[in-house]
Amino acid sequence: LTIYRKDYTAPSYLVDTVELGFDLDPARTIVANRLTMRRNPASAQREIELYGEDIELVALRLNGKALGKREYRLDGNLLRIPNAPEEVTLEIETLCAPEKNTALSGLYVSNGNFITQCEAEGFRRITFFPDRPDVMAKYTVMLRADKERYPVLLSNGNLVDEGMLPDGRHYAKWEDPFLKPSYLFALVAAKLVCQEEKFKLADGREALLQVWVEEGNLDKTDYAMQSLKKSIRWDEERFGLELDLDRFMIVATGDFNMGAMENKGLNIFNTKYVLANPRVATDIDFQGIEAVVGHEYFHNWTGNRVTCRDWFQLSLKEGLTVFRDQEFSGDMIGTSTGRAVNRIDQVRTLRAAQFPEDAGPMAHPVRPDSFVEINNFYTVTVYEKGAEVVRMYQTLLGREGFRKGMDLYFERHDGQAVECDDFRRAMADANDRNLDQFERWYSQAGTPVVRAQMRYDEQQHAVELTLSQSCPATPGQPEKLPFHIPVAVGLVGRDGRDIPLVIDDQERGTTTVLELTGAEQTFRFTSVPQQPVPSILRDFSAPVVLEYDYSDEDLLHLFSHDSDPVNRWEAGQRLAMERLLRLTEDVTAGSRLQLDDTFIEAMRKVLTDESLGPAFREQALLLPTESMIAEQTDVVHPLSIHMARQFVRSSIGNRLRAELLAAYDANQTPGQYSPDAESIGKRALKNLALGYLAAASDDEGIALAERQFDEADNMTDRAAALGALVHARAPAAQRALQGFYDEFEKEALVVDKWFAMQASSPSTDVAAVRELMKHPAFTMKNPNRARSLVFNFCMANPVQFHVPDGSGYAFWAEQVMALDALNPQVAARLARAMDRWRRYAPALQAHMKQALKQVNGLKKLSNDVREVVSKALA
């Protein structure tokens, strides 16, 4: 059943207050729900509509009177009460079984603790309710549970009462002073401990901050707490937004479908984004924690205070909040190259994951027009492309203009459930700008292609830059209209310096934002003394593919000189991509592989350029991912791509051996581990060097990896060394893997790394994965564990997943079906491993289609997986 955005109707009844009572029991939880409701003047409907899923209705009373079977209708998940009076008090009693809830949506049990996840539609798995984001109400929650097993009872807002009950039970009563949609409801009843702190807010108030974890993890909460404090300060300073509660809690759980959830005052997190210390967490884990803690905290304003009218508007809160967490991470690094490295990471994610999505069967606009299952639309398009769309406002309006737009947005919409259009209108009105055409970024799917051509006029000393745009067809959208695209441009002179830009006699600095709104436009720069190399789309100013016929010479020039670090990096990526594509063809054709000196010399230069920070050098030396290469080829041969990329890696390892060894030595980080940007950069470059040396099977490189594995005092270096050994199939790899497991057996997140490393190693075939699935530590019920082994094999081990006999795809089908019976949301994510099946070589395609059909042929399949596989086959 497809739901369409155009079919939106206002809710028939509004809810003013919600009083919930929980008698918590893993097998049989009783939920008492008392709602005060009134007819919505904006609706012609007179029927009360409530949703309920996988819960048992025990009692239903309207204005104090029990409703008889003929006074309401319960069809499937919809409960309707016709002809209800203007004002209503509804009392609903239901039963649920949290311990049987393997979908991890609604109220479930994780390692003996009660946890909830309500976004998007989990609240209806707890009680009957008009479970839609435009129904906002005030909640009071009474929790009752056994005190010994569940000493900690938490919900949204403020604790207003607590005490003992008979039979060793206790209670806690919570009140949330703010209006909220049901998807922001949360409760936790658990055996947990916390790190807490009082924190002074900008207006002088003090807030209590808590990070709740299981007992053994109290040594891993510091970084999350620090990140929370930094987030609060940052939102005050950058956007003037303050914490509006006296208490802010973070709870970590090992069983969680996604990364984290912004429930009002009670954020619930996957342990992956809370727990860290140097022994168990890598630099990337630390960075992930800072970003996700920030993200969930920032939702308090962008998501909670102002929420979404309907789920089609999801990017209203997600795109904006990702943008905010990206800016936060950038500001925390501070330096301009640090910021650029951060930006480069964002570009890589977009290209490796979002561009393929936008070109595949699940392509959808940032604001989708329809869906079958909303959980399938928590995507890189809604999140990351959505963040790029928000970033473009800032690029077009400037930082101050963007801030004005934000201020107006909150002035107009605080406490409301609104649409993406409302955000765009606030940006336009606050800046007196017409942003009508900008709407197409929300309504049209697909990655636009911007084609650039430059003509230099020797006589007039002028440059004419012609930009044209097009956008490929996507499902349901054969034709596209031009986008409003900010294209940041600079002109790099022969001496490597930026040429001051003059357009229409106006000085425009050294980087200017051109606004491409038509299908084709020409921009004329004057006073250009010599033919420059254009640096286009600086700082990746729009989520597009840029086409320009750069010569190797141009690219080498930009790679050495571009003042914009993102485009400097980009020039290196273009040099590498050209070679990777050619080598991929050579592998397929069986030709001899060769890598030119020009490329190696460019890499040598950047590797040894001490004026560049290590973090930037690491990014510059990192090759495009296999998925990025696949997107650029017409017929995908995964093995050829892998071999071509490996060939370049080992060539770099061989031919830059001395420089890599020197970089390895020069970028040690002795002393106490610290996850600051500079040390992270050093470790990244050092470990990249190690990886290249190991890829070349260099004896000294392998010996260094072994030594690093044995001696490192932090997980970043240990995991990097182990990864290098495993991927190089070094003789020491098996011993190291065993030692690693024995040492970290009790650390679930490290065991995940252990599985992941093997799952993504080209030496791990289907049979080996099946063996690993028999390991006592493996379970499909835990999403992190399933992702570490099964997802990584299907999505990060192309060589083995795409073996010609199709056994990888048969494995995929089996696992999607098994997982679907437990957890449809997670199963649907795995299902997407097959998205791009039509682009593979014909023999592989046939096997892939068969696997897709096998899954689609299953009668008992969730909507989640059904939507993904049927769209893939359509």
Catalytic residues: 296
Q: How far is the CB of 260 from ligand ARG (least distance, A)?
A: 5
Residue bearing tokens 């009460």:
81
Give the Cα separation of 401 and 397 in Å (integer): 5
Q: Using the rule CB under 6 A, which residue among 93, 296, 422, 835 binds ligand ARG?
A: 296
Which range of residues in 258-266, 692-700, 748-756, 838-846 is near ligand ARG by CB under 6 A? 258-266
Among residues 378, 647, 664, 755, which is the contact residue for ligand ARG, using CB under 6 A? 378
* Cβ proximity to ligand ARG, 316 vs 546, nearer residue: 316
For residue 81, give the H/E element and its range. strand 78-81
Contact 754, 277 (CB under 8 A): no
Mapping DSSP onto H, E and C, the string for 554-569 reads HHHHHHHHCCCHHHHH
33 binds ligand ARG (CB under 6 A): no
Judge whether 207 and 199 are in contact, CB under 8 Å: yes
CA distance 522 to 463: 10
Closer CB to ligand ARG, residue 294 or residue 532?
294
Burial 360-397 (b: 16+ CB within 10 A, else e): bbbbbbbbbbebbbbbbbbbbbbbbbbbbbbbbbbbbb
Helix (H) / strand (E) element for 825: namely helix 824-831
Closer residue to ligand ARG, CB minimum distance, 102 or 854: 102
- DSSP bridge pairs for 378: none
Cβ proximity to ligand ARG, 308 vs 790, nearer residue:
308
* Chosen from ligand ARG, Zn ion, none, partner binding at 765 (C-beta under 5 to 8 Å by type): none
For Zn ion (CB under 5 A), the number of binding residues is: 2
Q: Are 761 and 733 in contact (CB under 8 A)?
A: no
381 touches, from Zn ion, ligand ARG, none (C-beta below 5 to 8 Å by class) = none
The pair of structure tokens assigned to 120 is 């998007």
Per-residue binding string, ligand ARG, 773-812, x by CB under 6 A, is ----------------------------------------
- CB of residue 406 to ligand ARG, shortest distance in Å: 19
By CB under 6 A, name the one of 142, 260, 488, 556 that touches ligand ARG.
260
The interface with ligand ARG within residues 336-375 (CB under 6 A) comprises: 375
* Interacting residues with Zn ion between 321 and 380 (CB under 5 A): 321
User: Which residue is at the shortest CB distance from ligand ARG?
Assistant: 378
Longest dimension (CA), the chain: 94
257 binds ligand ARG per the rule CB under 6 A: yes
| Contacted by 619, from Zn ion, ligand ARG, none: CB < 5 to 8 Å by type | none
Question: What's the min distance (Å) between Cβ of 698 and Zn ion?
Answer: 43
Instruction: Classify residue 500 by its DSSP letter.
Output: P
**Between 53 and 318, whose beta carbon lies closer to Zn ion?**
318
For residue 409, the partner it binds in Zn ion, ligand ARG, none, with Cβ less than 5 to 8 A by kind, is none
The C-alpha atoms of residue 64 and residue 198 are separated, in whole angstroms, by: 44
Identify what 120 binds: ligand ARG, Zn ion, none; CB under 5 to 8 Å per kind.
Answer: ligand ARG
Task: Copy the structure tokens of residue 43.
Answer: 């609706």
Nearer to Zn ion, 297 or 709 (CB): 297
Cβ closer to ligand ARG: 257 or 395?
A: 257
Told to check if 120 binds ligand ARG by CB under 6 A, we report: yes
CB distance 381 to 366 below 8 Å: yes
Neighbouring CB atoms inside 10 A of 315's CB total 29
Binding-site size, ligand ARG (CB under 6 A):
13
Q: Determine whether 658 is exposed, middle or buried from the number of CB atoms within 10 Å of its CB (0-12, 13-18, 19+).
A: exposed
Which is closer to ligand ARG, CB of 171 or CB of 297?
297
With CB under 5 to 8 Å by kind, the binding choice for 260 among ligand ARG, Zn ion, none is ligand ARG
Order of strands across the sheet that contains 449-457: 520-525, 462-470, 449-457, 545-547
Query: Which residues 6+ apart lie within 8 Å of 594 measured at CB?
Result: none
Choose which of 53, 134, 255, 262 interacts with ligand ARG (CB under 6 A).
262
Site membership for ligand ARG, residue 258 (CB under 6 A): yes
Per-residue CA distances from 247 to 294, 301, 865, 866 (Å): 16, 15, 39, 41
Q: How many CB atoms lie within 10 A of CB 506?
A: 9
Binds 647: which of ligand ARG, Zn ion, none (CB < 5-8 Å by kind): none
CA separation for the pair 389, 152 (Å, rounded): 41
Stretch near ligand ARG under the rule CB under 6 A, chosen from 260-268, 527-535, 686-694, 735-743: 260-268
Residue 498: CA atoms inside 13 Å, Cβ hemisphere, count? Answer: 19
Report the length, in residues, of the chain. 874
CA distance 684 to 164: 53
Closest contact distance (angstroms) between CB of 145 and ligand ARG is: 25
Amino acid present at 595: L
Of the pair 140, 304, the CB lying nearest ligand ARG is at 304
Cα separations (Å) of 529 from 213, 374, 462, 499? 63, 55, 8, 9
In the numeric block, the tokens 């809604």 are attached to 382
Single out the segment in contact with ligand ARG by CB under 6 A; choices: 20-28, 253-261, 511-519, 842-850. 253-261
Tell me the closest approach of the beta carbon of residue 228 to ligand ARG, in angstroms. 15
Does the footprint of ligand ARG cover residue 823 (CB under 6 A)? Answer: no
Number of Cα atoms under 13 Å in the Cβ half of residue 458: 0
Stretches 126-134, 257-265, 638-646, 677-685: which one binds ligand ARG (CB under 6 A)? 257-265
Nearer to ligand ARG (CB atom), residue 299 or residue 617 = 299
Least separation in angstroms between residue 296's CB and Zn ion is: 7
Strand partners, 13: 39
Q: Give least dist CB 268 to ligand ARG, A.
A: 10
Both tokens of 491, joined, read 């002109």
Stretch in the footprint of ligand ARG (CB under 6 A) among 254-262, 507-515, 517-525, 561-569: 254-262
Give the nearest distance from C-beta 229 to ligand ARG in angstroms. 19
Q: Which stretch binds Zn ion (CB under 5 A): 28-36, 285-293, 320-328, 427-435?
A: 320-328
Distance CA 76, CA 833 (A): 31
Among 31, 55, 251, 261, which residue sits at the site for ligand ARG (rule: CB under 6 A)?
261
If contact means CB under 5 to 8 A according to the sort of partner, which of Zn ion, ligand ARG, none does residue 640 touch?
A: none
Of residues 602 through 661, those in contact with Zn ion by CB under 5 A are none
End-to-end CA distance of the chain: 16
Q: Name the residue nearer to Zn ion (CB basis): 217 or 321.
A: 321
Q: Please name which of 656, 643, 723, 646 lies closest in space to residue 691, comparing C-alpha atoms.
A: 723
Residue partners of 860: CB distance under 8 A and separation at least 6 = none
Site residues, Zn ion (CB under 5 A): 318, 321
Site residues, ligand ARG (CB under 6 A): 119-120, 257-258, 260-262, 295-296, 318, 375, 378, 825
